[in-house]
Structure 1
């Protein structure tokens, strides 16, 4: 048990729309080492090259990638199943993973994964995700987005999976993020004053993050039921 307790939660980190793993890694590693040092972070590029201009051009170098594609009204989705197969293949080869972190487009995807696993429609060949970290997320079927076929039942009942949500005061997707909160049984929230970005962590945010990590870490070490997870000791 002593050896096992030294393990870090292994997290698959998925970048935003027309961005990249390299960009996400650079932004996440601005967080305090007191947070990142407790995590085993793995960054993955999306499977499809960007088919349009990235909002990060001029700030971060290409290439840029997309997880899946959609029409202008966000009512039709393309390559969604291929995206999930791609993620599952990576997780099979490089896992197991304890949690997933997603920003923007990837946060929308990650929010649906626990239920899609529960329903047996996606990521069937890998262990169930124990927790999700959602930065500027939204809900399939919420105010701004339709629903891909594989995610049609993803939010049909409350999602009983530990979740940490980042909500930006100036984020154009803030309302969608608030709706997403209602889909989880016991969501934890980090509020920040910025927009649709990955914010740096101040002392208060880092404390919330560390508390969330501690809970998920204890669940990971003890093998507790992810639906009844409770911390039993400090790091």
Structure 2
């Protein structure tokens, strides 16, 4: 009998946005991204460590509980509980990994963007293998979080043309070496990907799948 070699999907840790949840982020991707694209990735969705402190009245479809990764001032210049968040993420990466990449939306993208620099400088995430890539949806560069630029980790950035944080998102993309940027006509949301934008994502995935990296720290438990 002929044996077939099945290609391993990149395992990706998915970090949702502020005031949502792992379940909500999963549904947002299923609504906006074609299923044949999602099928190319092994997606693992994680709830943030903190229950939402502020009340929000923006969910008319999704139900609580809602979570947040960290707290900040309105101008994002001061960040609170960031170190605790990273420790929580690392513990879950040890539990559910190893992971090839990280996909984050909004506040989750801020976390994801900080991870390659922290691993490079060995200030955090030293117990898990080095991530090969990040995919950042509506993630901005804000004060209070040191990224360690320039960042050489391959990155894919989704930037909404109507997003009020547009300039912060473009600044974040500029922190990475040779970033791949997809602009979409919507605001601060998970984008609806058309065929052209989907093809760019697939090309990025195919490229990062070829990256070979030595393992460090612990492997899958």
Question: So what's the TM-score if we normalise by structure 1?
Answer: 0.85
Cα distance in structure 1, aligned partners of 2:152 and 2:56: 34
Q: Which residue of 2 aligns with 1:181?
A: 173
Distance 1:106 1:57 in 2: 18
Counterpart of 2:129 in structure 1 is 127
Gaps of 5+ in 2: 215-221
Q: 1:193 to 1:21 in 2, by over 3 A?
A: same
- Does residue 162 of the first structure (1) align with residue 154 of the second (2)? yes
Matched, 1:208 2:200: yes
1:217 equivalent in structure 2:
209
Name the residue aligned to 1:11.
12
SS in 1 for 2:102: strand
* Candidates 110, 113, 137, aligned match of 2:112: 110
1:32 to 20, 28, 34: 34
Contact 2:14 2:43 survives alignment (8 Å): yes
What is the alpha-carbon root mean square deviation over aligned residues? Answer: 1.5
Structure 1 counterpart SS, 2:209: helix
Indicate how the Cα distance of structure 1 residues 188 and 72 shifts in structure 2: closer, same or farther if over 3 A, else same. same
- For structure 1, the residue ranges without an aligned partner over 5 or more in a row are 140-144, 226-235
Q: 2-side partners of 1:7 and 1:58: how far apart?
A: 37
Aligned pairs, number: 210
The normalised TM-score by structure 2 is 0.90
Q: Which structure has the higher relative contact order (CA within 8 Å, separation 6+)?
A: 2
Q: Distance in 2 between matches of 1:104 and 1:55?
A: 18
SS at structure 2 position matched to 1:6: coil
1:63 match: 65
